[in-house]
Amino acid sequence: MKILVINAGSSSLKYQLIDMTDESVICKGNCERIGDAENSLVSYKTADHKIEKLVPMPTHTEAFETIIDLMTNSEYKVINDLSEISATGHRIVQGGDIFSESVLVTDKVIDQIEGLSELAPLHNPAHVKALRACKKVFGDNVPMVVVFDTAFHQTMPQKAYMYGLPMEYSEKYNLRKYGFHGTSHRYVSARVAELIGKPASELKTITCHLGNGSSISAVKYGKCIDTTMGFTPLDGLLMGTRSGAIDPSAVLYLMDKENMTPTEMSNLLNKKSGYLGVTRGLTSDDRDLRALALEGNQDAALAGDMQRYEVKKYIGSFAAAMGGVDVVLFTGGIGENSTLTREVACKGLEFMGIKLDKELNEKLNRGEGKISAADSKVQVWIVPTNEELLIARDTRDIVNK
């Protein structure tokens, strides 16, 4: 069985064709600048080749046609025809409180995803466009499955997801914590249990997904009970360009002082804050941040310190929320690669049984592995995330049913 996994944005469409017999990636790539037909670009990578070329893609429909053409018709084709693709699996950012698991796509499901657009104006409308284009290009006989970033967090108890706002507004506008990166938190928390050789239902795990966007979840006995992102992916940790949690009064004060509209303020908090904001516009990238800090840039050193301190704080608070912790794991571009982030985040947590093996932490980059000391009560792991694989597995399971 071959499954095409799709992660669509408003002007991009990332794809991976996965062979479910051995879960290997047959080909993958990205369509960029969809809508800007003169400059739209597709990349396509197989085991042996990588190509990139300009192809006019005025809409997501042409993006699907382009990747199908590459897979079936090009010099580097990987399948003979479309009938080899059994199903498509789609990443959806916001499933609201409607979707607590992945589902088969029907017209009603597409309408429901569209109906949640107000909660994710940058993402859900783009997903809907891609779903409709996919249906048009593949036809009704290829089943589609949707996998939600928010679904894994639907197990949070009310006390964790409600905000202390007047109830009538919370209810009227569905204002609550939803949490994001759920596919990643679900994949890595299940994977670490497998690696340890214990059922997830017996483990209290803290999953630290640290990348351009970062979030941490408390996964108690296989179920998420709390997470750092909230109503939107802006909450929680300081990130590449996002502020993370700040006093809401600071937002109101700044809007008032600078005469900013909600859209301008949202832009500032989402795109101009975080590492980028604290370094006065120098970088949003953790590697560059570290290099700048080593050169003596105080702002860069501060931005890194701020994020690492927050990671430590959330580890402590989520251990408290779960009444203990068995496993702390790191994933995402920073979590998988930054020795420093892992070291600083865990330092000083020996009192709660977390003790890193300095050498393992330095040696193990990219790849799965345990980095805690032999006598550490809590196991600390690096587990590279694989959201596409989980989407493909869900798609297979639902289609098989």
Report the nearest approach of ligand ADP to the CB of residue 332 (Å): 4
Report the nearest approach of ligand ADP to the CB of residue 170 (Å): 29
**How many other β-carbons are positioned within 10 Å of the β-carbon of residue 264?**
12
- Looking at the Cβ atoms of 103 and 311, the one nearer to ligand ADP is 311
- Looking at the Cβ atoms of 227 and 337, the one nearer to ligand ADP is 337
Report the nearest approach of ligand ADP to the CB of residue 72 (Å): 29
Q: Which residues contact 214 (CB under 8 A, 6 or more apart)?
A: 208, 228, 236, 237, 239, 307, 332, 334
Amino acid identity at 186: R
Amino acid identity at 74: S
CA distance 142 to 32: 24
363 closest CA partner among 344, 379, 342: 342
Report the nearest approach of ligand ADP to the CB of residue 77 (Å): 29
Report the nearest approach of ligand ADP to the CB of residue 284 (Å): 7
- Looking at the Cβ atoms of 91 and 396, the one nearer to ligand ADP is 91
Q: For residues 389, 395, 397 and 398, what is the CA-based torsion angle, rounded to 10 degrees?
A: 160
Task: Evaluate whether 183 touches 154 at the Cβ level (below 8 Å).
Answer: no
CA distance 350 to 363: 21
Amino acid identity at 213: G
Instruction: Name the residues that contact ligand ADP, by CB under 6 A.
Output: 211-213, 240, 285-287, 332-334, 337-338
Q: What is the DSSP string of 295-358?
A: TT-HHHHHHHHHHHHHHHHHHHHHHHHHTS-SEEEEEHHHHHH-HHHHHHHHTT-GGGTB-B-H
- Looking at the Cβ atoms of 217 and 337, the one nearer to ligand ADP is 337
CA distance 267 to 269: 6
Q: Which residues contact 106 (CB under 8 A, 6 or more apart)?
A: none
- The residues annotated with a catalytic role in the active site are 149
Task: Evaluate whether 135 touches 144 at the Cβ level (below 8 Å).
Answer: yes
- Looking at the Cβ atoms of 95 and 333, the one nearer to ligand ADP is 333
Report the nearest approach of ligand ADP to the CB of residue 152 (Å): 17
Amino acid identity at 302: L
Give the CB-nearest residue to ligand ADP: 333
